[in-house]
């Protein structure tokens, strides 16, 4: 029986002389090590049905080509969450020559669980003891030589954010790959567990079964006692499987009776206990810990001070995105219009004349590229840079702890707060940011709520239409309505979708001064996703919409739209046409509304109040705010969640927008 292999990862491994895997929790500097090792040549691999990515890259170190596989950040390996399953499966499929496990020196006991679990599986390790500078600042000195003796594997002190110790780490990894340097000892637990493991391992050897993934008998024995679903399924498929499982149940029952808890819990408890015992023997308190860190954590995680500070941080984030992003967007559009746009127009018109083909091509090569650039660089790139600052300072962890109780009401946890906030700038990077969530259920919930979050483009419509023609009070009311709909949607989805929210488990990551080069690299890695995923969709959509407009086919849509737009929403039919076009880019809605109104009602139309009343403007802005943001968002939703889920979320936001718009229209009439 073959268990879940990934052929792409296997092929990547087979063509490289040496491969490393990077493992560790999400907040321990693993990404810093990966970025330092690999530069920018990164590709990703997804297991079928999984959205958690494994990053694959190649690098050269002293004339040696090395493949580097960055596993999802996790505290343990198993099948309890998607990130744990993908991390373990990628390790077993790739079978790297060495696993570089990055652990946090400031919280060693918590971080040793994963290395012990990897040693239990018989895998070769080299440990990077990261954040040793922060540990010393907090008054802790770690004896890495003694730690290496306890674990039987090399331990290298590092400060990944500055690259300290990483050369040595790679050298030890290469040594492990060349000479097969692995552990000198196996983690030892209580006598009854060790006796059970020995008994099951002997039985597997006696039955002469071909063990999965090439793991040793003891590793399979411990996975059986931990009730690992995949290993149990493998065992059931064996001719002698029932005999082996009967023995597993017998020894597991004995352990459970002696300790008063299920055997998997007992093994986990003993592994945690061993991690604590090792940590206590290698740590030395050399000074009183810094009180500044404690004060910062208390200020940022206490509801009394944390929420006001969060409000200030969000206001600053939104203001920076809105004002700086708007300024950069105008600069980009101005530069495009003054330099490249005339050249593109001249070339296309020279080649294709002034007809429909020429005008359609200009929608894509001129307006489409301009739209992608004036959203991508001002809003997406700017947001990612700010996000890197918040991550590197450690503030995001504070936000996660602070907002966790509220997020659980929506079926999420504190890590979802930042993607939701990011949606106020641009929904595209915000949906990409949902990767920090552990399960598909949480990503669906968070992505749906992000789609309902008014981005800066939709805010431009609210400001340009409602604030200008109706008043600032009704403009604020739109945000209140949208927030209420978002909360009710999250509350409802939490009860409809099967499963439940995972708990929030994360390190109390220390506050520190961020590294500017590291922030730039991380920003670029994230921005590439927008460039390569969203931009082509925007261009294709531009060509299609351009063709519909230039051929006059657009006006055909007014007939089927009439019952909904005029009958239900009480808007002129021309407004429905702009809602279709606004899928390309939401701030186009106002420009298109006036432009199509001129084409429909004559050149005398110069502002919205000449063909819409204030109630219609309010309804129009509300509908435009609620329904699916833009085609780039749909593309990213499809990449993160799959096309079926992306289309379902899109359809649900359209239905919500129409429902809310129709109700508001009737309330305004009353």
Q: What is the DSSP string of 84-119?
A: HHHHHHHHHHH--SEEEEEEEGGGHHHHTHHHHHHH
Backbone angles phi, psi at 219, to 5 degrees: -65, -45
Of 563, 583, 528, the C-alpha closest to 40 is: 528
**Residue 41, pLDDT above cutoff 60:** no
* Mean pLDDT calculated for residue range 187-199: 92
Q: Are 267 and 226 in contact (CB under 8 A)?
A: yes
Mean pLDDT computed over 347-362: 87
Quickly state the pLDDT bin for 386 (edges 50, 70, 90): confident
May I ask the CATH class of domain 191-285?
mainly alpha
496 φ/ψ angles, rounded to the nearest 5 degrees: -90, -45
- Residue 607 Cα distances to 464, 466, 577, 592, 601, angstroms: 11, 12, 17, 12, 12
pLDDT-above-70 percentage for the chain: 86
pLDDT at 507 over 60: no
Under 8 Å between Cβ of 286 and 139: yes
Quote the tokens at residue 412: 């999420």
Domain ranges of the chain: 7-179, 191-285, 539-669
DSSP category for residue 510: P
Nearest to 586 by CA among 439, 472, 428, 479: 428
Nearest Cα to Cα of residue 661 among 616, 628, 630: 616
Paired strand residues for 655: none
Tokens of 411: 């079926």
- What average pLDDT does this structure show over 188-208? 91
Q: Give the span between the Cα atoms of 168 and 184, in whole angstroms.
A: 20
**Residues comprising the chain, all counted:** 670
Q: What is the pLDDT of residue 79?
A: 64
pLDDT tens for 423-455 read 776 787 788 778 777 678 888 999 999 999 887
Q: Which helix (H) or strand (E) holds 157?
A: strand 155-157
Classified as helix, coil or strand, 19 is: strand
* Token code pair at residue 185: 């000892």
Smallest CA-to-CA distance from 508 within 232, 131, 191, 242 is with 131
103, 129 contact by CB (below 8 A): yes
The reported pLDDT for the residue numbered 390 is: 79
Q: How far is CA 490 from the centre of its chain?
A: 19
Task: Identify the three-state secondary structure at position 538.
Answer: helix
pLDDT score recorded for residue 75: 84
CB-CB contact of 217 with 204 (8 Å)? yes
d(CA 85, CA 98): 19
SS3 annotation, 434-485: HHHCCCHHHHHHHHHHHHHCCCHHHHHHHHHHHHHHCCHHHHHHHHHHHHHH
pLDDT band at 533 (very low <50, low <70, confident <90, very high): low
Position 2 pLDDT exceeds 60: no
* Number of CB atoms found within 10 A of residue 560's CB: 10
* pLDDT, the chain, mean: 82
d(CA 156, CA 489): 48
Fold of 7-179: Rossmann fold (3.40.50)
pLDDT at 93 over 80: yes
Confidence of residue 1 (pLDDT cuts 50, 70, 90): very low
Most confident of 79-88, 195-204, 609-618: 195-204
Of residues 140 and 522, which shows the higher confidence score? Answer: 140
214: alpha, beta or left, given left = phi > 0 and alpha = psi -120 to 50? left
What average pLDDT does this structure show over 82-96?
A: 87
**CA proximity to 300, closest of 311, 289, 290:** 311
pLDDT tens track for 627-653: 877 888 888 888 888 889 999 999 999
Q: Is the pLDDT assigned to residue 315 strictly greater than 90? A: no
Residues in Cβ contact with 407 at an 8 Å cutoff, skipping those fewer than 6 apart? 413, 414, 416, 417, 501
Compute the average pLDDT of residues 472-479: 86
Tell me which DSSP letter residue 24 carries.
Answer: -
Residue 582 pLDDT > 70: yes
- Distance of alpha carbon 341 from alpha carbon 328, whole angstroms: 17
């Amino acid at each position: 029986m073959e268990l879940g292999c990934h052929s792409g990862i296997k092929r990547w491994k087979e063509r490289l002389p040496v491969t490393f895997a990077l493992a560790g929790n999400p907040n321990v500097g693993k990404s810093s090590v990966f970025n330092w090792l690999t530069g920018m040549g990164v590709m990703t691999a997804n297991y079928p049905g999984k959205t958690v990515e494994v990053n694959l890259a190649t690098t050269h170190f002293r004339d040696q080509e090395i493949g580097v596989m960055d596993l999802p950040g996790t505290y343990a390996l198993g099948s309890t969450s998607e990130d744990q399953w993908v991390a373990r499966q990628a390790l077993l499929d790739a079978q790297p020559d060495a696993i570089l496990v990055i652990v946090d020196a400031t919280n060693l006991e918590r971080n040793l669980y994963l290395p012990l679990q990897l040693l239990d599986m018989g895998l070769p390790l080299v440990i990077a003891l990261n954040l040793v500078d922060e540990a010393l600042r907090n008054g802790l000195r770690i004896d890495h030589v003694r730690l290496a003796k306890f674990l039987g594997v090399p331990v290298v002190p590092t400060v990944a954010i500055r690259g300290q110790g990483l050369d040595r780490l790679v050298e030890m990894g290469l040594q492990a790959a060349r000479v097969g340097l692995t552990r000198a000892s196996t983690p030892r637990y209580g006598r009854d567990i060790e006796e059970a493991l020995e008994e099951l391992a002997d039985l597997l050897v006696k039955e002469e079964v071909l063990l999965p993934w090439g793991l040793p008998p003891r590793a399979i024995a411990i996975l059986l006692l931990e009730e690992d679903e995949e290993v149990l399924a493998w065992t059931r498929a064996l001719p002698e499987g029932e005999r082996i499982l009967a023995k597993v149940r017998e020894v597991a029952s004995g352990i459970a009776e002696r300790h008063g808890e299920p055997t998997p819990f007992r093994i986990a408890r003993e592994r945690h206990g061993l991690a604590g015992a090792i940590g206590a023997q290698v740590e030395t308190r050399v000074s009183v810990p810094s009180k500044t860190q404690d004060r910062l954590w208390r200020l940022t995680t206490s509801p009394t001070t944390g929420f006001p500070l969060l409000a200030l941080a969000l206001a600053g984030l939104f203001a920076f995105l809105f004002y700086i992003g708007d300024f950069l967007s105008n600069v980009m559009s101005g530069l495009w219009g003054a330099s490249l746009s005339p050249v593109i127009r001249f070339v296309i018109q020279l080649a294709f004349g002034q007809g429909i083909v020429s005008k359609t091509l200009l929608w894509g090569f001129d307006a489409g590229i301009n739209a992608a650039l004036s959203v991508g660089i001002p809003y997406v790139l700017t947001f990612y840079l700010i996000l890197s600052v918040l991550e590197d300072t450690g503030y995001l962890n504070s936000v996660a702890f602070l907002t966790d109780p509220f997020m659980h009401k929506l079926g999420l946890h504190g890590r979802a707060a930042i993607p939701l906030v990011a949606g106020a700038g641009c929904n595209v990077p915000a949906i990409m940011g949902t990767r920090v969530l552990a399960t598909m259920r949480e990503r669906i919930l968070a992505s749906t709520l992000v789609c309902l979050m008014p981005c800066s483009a939709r805010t431009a419509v609210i400001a340009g239409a409602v604030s200008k023609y109706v008043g600032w009070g009704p403009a604020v009311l739109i945000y209140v309505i949208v927030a209420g709909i978002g909360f009710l949607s999250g509350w409802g989805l939490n009860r409809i979708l099967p499963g439940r929210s995972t708990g929030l488990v994360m390190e109390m990551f220390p506050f520190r001064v961020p590294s500017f080069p590291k922030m730039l690299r991380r920003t670029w890695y994230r921005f590439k996703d927008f460039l390569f995923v969203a931009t082509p969709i925007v261009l294709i959509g531009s060509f299609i919409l351009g063709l519909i407009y230039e051929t006059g086919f657009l006006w055909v849509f007014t007939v089927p739209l009439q019952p909904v737009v005029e009958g239900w929403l009480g808007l002129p039919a021309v407004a429905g046409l702009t809602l279709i076009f606004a899928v390309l880019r939401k701030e186009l809605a106002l420009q298109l509304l006036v432009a199509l109104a001129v084409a429909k009602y004559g050149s005398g139309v110069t502002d919205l109040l000449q063909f819409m009343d204030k109630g219609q403007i309010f309804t129009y802005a509300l509908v435009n705010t609620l329904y699916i943001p833009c085609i780039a968002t749909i593309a990213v939703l499809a990449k993160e969640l799959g096309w079926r889920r992306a289309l379902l979320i899109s359809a649900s936001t359209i239905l919500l927008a129409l429902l809310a718009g129709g109700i508001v229209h009737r309330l305004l009439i009353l």
